[in-house]
Structure 1
Amino acid sequence: MENRTEVTEFLLLGLTDDPHLQVFLFITFLLIYTLTVAGNLGMLLLILLDPRLHTPMYFFLGNLSLVDFCYSSVVTPSVMARLLTGNKVISYNACAAQMFLFATLICVENYLFTAMAYDRYAAVCKPLHYTTTMRSSVCAGLVMGCYVLGFLNGCVHTGETFSQSFCSSNMIHHFFCDVPAVMALSCSDERVTELVVIYDANTMSSFFTPS
């Protein structure tokens, strides 16, 4: 039997401890995040309001803008808050939620890129069949598949990571709860978890590949 004290919170070491550099980074992140939000929400609003843009290509682009806005909002505001306040503590549950949302949304974005590539393939290589190939139901199914597969990826990555025991250091050498950074703190055998994550990434990446 081993005496183990399971961690209940993590300490995000962030990018720097220099107060002057923290102010500079806060302003930089704020500008980038503002441009990201304005660009993505502006694109989404334009697509929704203009009937001429209600086509498969812009349908995928609108979902891409939405996902880009969401996953940027999962990490950036919390990073800016820590740069401003200096509070680097994040609870166990908040860390797991951040990892799940980020992993899910980043995977959804990758699958959306694949769906958009298939849409362009159908438009360029089979233009006469494009209207029947990329029907509204097909587009909706592809997008739904992107979200479902992204959700499954997020569940696998987060579940496998937080199934480990964290009984030593709780200091994460990163500015948010990313899978490799959190797994580095595990005192369990990580080989099975690493193999599952790699297999999951390789398997899911083969979906939506046009034949």
Structure 2
Amino acid sequence: MKSIAIFCGSALGKDSVYLNVAQNVGRYLAQQDITLVYGGGRSGLMGVVADCALQAGGKVIGVIPRVLVDKELAHPNLTELHVVEDMQQRKTKMSELADGFVAIPGGAGTLEEIFEQWTWAQLGIHLKPCAFLNVDGFYDDLLKFLTLTAEKGFTHQRFIDSLVAEDNIEAIVEKFKHFAAPEPKWGMVEKTEFLVAMDQ
């Protein structure tokens, strides 16, 4: 496990537990010599994760759309910053750079990003692990809903089982190291062909 993408809020949230978990994630990845891949901003939990990883001597790669460089205040001190044309390119680039994906607390953008990577795993576009860092029960209701989608026949149970949900980054990284991807829904899909088809 050489790199992990972290999806999280561009706000800090109202509880210090979210700040604490972001700080710990950044430090721990750096201590484990795991490159942090994230959205490239310096605001909110995004900035906290990046700052703590950098302060601990870690490598941090940001990916940010050109239109958001000023609005999200692109972080000026990253190891690498990739400026891309749009949100789809951002997610594609992060997918290429990361060996696994973790959602810590955040809002709609965080959910959209982790769900796209989990969907791509189900389709066989990649075979990388996805996780929710479920600090203080933040994702409890969401995880229950995902179980419901399997019970109602909309998600194969093996894809639910493949999701990692822990309340600390240490346990997530350990599970990532031993991750065995489930069989994709329709076998492996050539990613470049898939993304071209999406744009048509």
Q: TM-score of the superposition, structure 1-length normalised?
A: 0.27
Higher strand share: 2
Higher helix share: 1
Q: TM-score of the superposition, structure 2-length normalised?
A: 0.28
